[in-house]
Amino acid sequence: MKLALSLTARLTLLFVLVSSSVLIGLGWLLNAAVERHFIEMDRGLLEGKVEVLERLLASPPQAGEIQALDDAVIDMFRSDPELKIFVQTVGGSLILAPPDLPFPEQAIDRQRVDQADMIFSWRNGGSRYRGLATTMQTALPDLAPLLVVVAINIDHHERFMARYGRTLSVFIPVAAFLSGLLGWWAARRGLSPLHLLQERAASVTASQLDRRLPEESVPRELKGLARELNRMLIRLEEAFRRLSNFSSDLAHEMRTPVSNLLTQTQVALSRSRTEGEYQETLASNAEELDRLSRMIADMLFLARAENGLSLPSIEEIRLHDEIADLLEFYDALADEAGVRLQASGRAVVRGNRLMLRRALSNLLSNAIRHAGQGGQGGQGCEGGEAGEVRIDLAEESAVVSLIVENSGDPIPPEVIPMIFDRFYRAESDRPRHEGATGGLGLGLAITQAIVHAHGGHVSVTSGRAGASFRVTLPSGKSGGNGVRESDAPKNLANRP
């Protein structure tokens, strides 16, 4: 299990870790420096003594007399009782040694001493000594060269270092603890804006989705977070608004036909009527019910699309062929509405044939309806030619674009963001007579859902006249990126 430490605890721990490792490093560094300093100091001292001794040995008081040399040395260093002097001949016999300290045979590396002076330290009894070993020529011919070791007791250095170590071992934990305390305080202070964010976020509920986090009053590091959270809230609010609008729209859309059906049926039943009248009522009911049933099927389709449509089967689709079929289908209708249909271009995509057909069919149906209306509006058009719908296909750098342009009244700018919403209908699209096969207001929403499922995009622009719907889809040649074939396919057609 992963331990979830609070941010404050994490920061405090980090403070402690950082400060103690810095202090320990520093202590070690100082320790090494002091140690080196002591060595240098001792070396200076010992070298001075060696120099004196060298001079003495160069001109011994009485040649051949070792005892005389001994006395001369003792004489010379009488004022310095701590100094220990060893003199050894090549043969290995000590001709001079202090009475209270054995010769440190083990600590001396003779080969090194032959090359240069050697400074070293060793322990004897409870004390530590530092010595300088060197070879010396002497006027006593049978003894040369002599190995000379000059040493001093360095216990006071040792004591100093031990004291220093003790001080550090107390100081470092205390300092670490103090910095932890400071760190905890700093972390709490530093993180207090998070608490503010938390409080604000807690106050956002479904009924108060308009609440926003304070972007200005939080530190710079949290501004990004607050801004992204606010954007998320905006998206949520938008989605939530659409959803609740949708529910109320749905209720409204269903209520009107259901109440019509109910009234009509009850009126028909209120007294006995002729067979023709009953037939009329039932036929009218059937039409209304057919509309409702189509609406339910479309709604189910869209509800499923909300969760992401997956395409049941994917194949290569030549859009120009599909469009040719659709134009044939709509030919008579367009002709009656006085709308001329034109198509140009070629493109291939990968997708589900039935769904793409449905998406394009809705776009075309919409375009024909509006092109026809624009003409009837009598705005700058004459003769029998009321309007036209143009379809252009193009394929460019792995993107297929399909544009459906229609003449007719422009779409007001304030309406454009809503045009793909469910149940949105232009005023002119509202069914003029109930029961007619007027648009359900779901066609463009379905088109959008299908295009999105194919990894595409649909948008609309409208200028001074007419409207232009643009669909972009990944090209079929690029291997069909963005189109996912489902392993658990969903049905998309209303009818098999």
Partner 1 sequence: MKVLIVEDERKTGQYLQQGLTEAGYTVDLSPDGVEGLHLALTESYDLMLLDVMLPGMDGWQVLETLRRNGRDMPILLLTAKDQVEDRVRGLDLGADDYLIKPFAFSELLARVRTLLRRGRTEPEPTTLRVADLELDRLGHRATRGGERIDLTAKEFALLELFMRRQGEVLPRSLIASQVWDMNFDSDTNVVEVAVRRLRRKVDEPFERRLIRTVRGMGYVMEDEPEA
CB of 347 to partner 1, least distance (A): 20
- The Cβ of residue 244 has, within 10 Å, a number of other Cβ atoms equal to 11
CB of 436 to partner 1, least distance (A): 9
d(CA 314, CA 243): 30
Q: Is 299 helix (H, G, I), strand (E, B) or coil?
A: helix
d(CA 397, CA 393): 14
Q: Is 128 helix (H, G, I), strand (E, B) or coil?
A: strand
29 vs 324, beta carbon nearer partner 1 = 324
* Residue 196 CA to its chain's centroid (Å): 23
CB of 394 to partner 1, least distance (A): 25
107 vs 333, beta carbon nearer partner 1 = 333
Residue 147 vs residues 77, 119, 143: alpha-carbon distances, Å: 18, 14, 10
Q: H or E element: which one contains 485?
A: none
CB of 333 to partner 1, least distance (A): 5
336 vs 434, beta carbon nearer partner 1 = 336
Strands 339-344 and 387-396: parallel
Strands 315-318 and 339-344: unpaired
352 vs 401, beta carbon nearer partner 1 = 352
CB of 328 to partner 1, least distance (A): 6
71 vs 331, beta carbon nearer partner 1 = 331
What residues line the site for partner 1 (CB under 8 A)?
279-280, 282-287, 289-290, 293-294, 296-298, 300, 312, 325, 328-333, 335-336, 354, 357-358, 361, 365, 437, 488-496
71 vs 325, beta carbon nearer partner 1 = 325
Burial of 149 (0-12, 13-18, 19+ CB in 10 A): buried
Q: H or E element: which one contains 395?
A: strand 387-396
89 vs 361, beta carbon nearer partner 1 = 361
Amino acid letter for position 417: P
d(CA 116, CA 133): 9
Token pair in block for residue 211: 């609440």
CB of 236 to partner 1, least distance (A): 29
Token pair in block for residue 44: 């200076």
CB of 494 to partner 1, least distance (A): 5
82 vs 328, beta carbon nearer partner 1 = 328
CB of 286 to partner 1, least distance (A): 3
DSSP string, 314-340: -EEEEHHHHHHHHHHHHHHHHHHHTEE
100 vs 275, beta carbon nearer partner 1 = 275
CB of 447 to partner 1, least distance (A): 12
| Distance linking the first and last C-alpha atoms of the chain | 51
d(CA 234, CA 230): 6
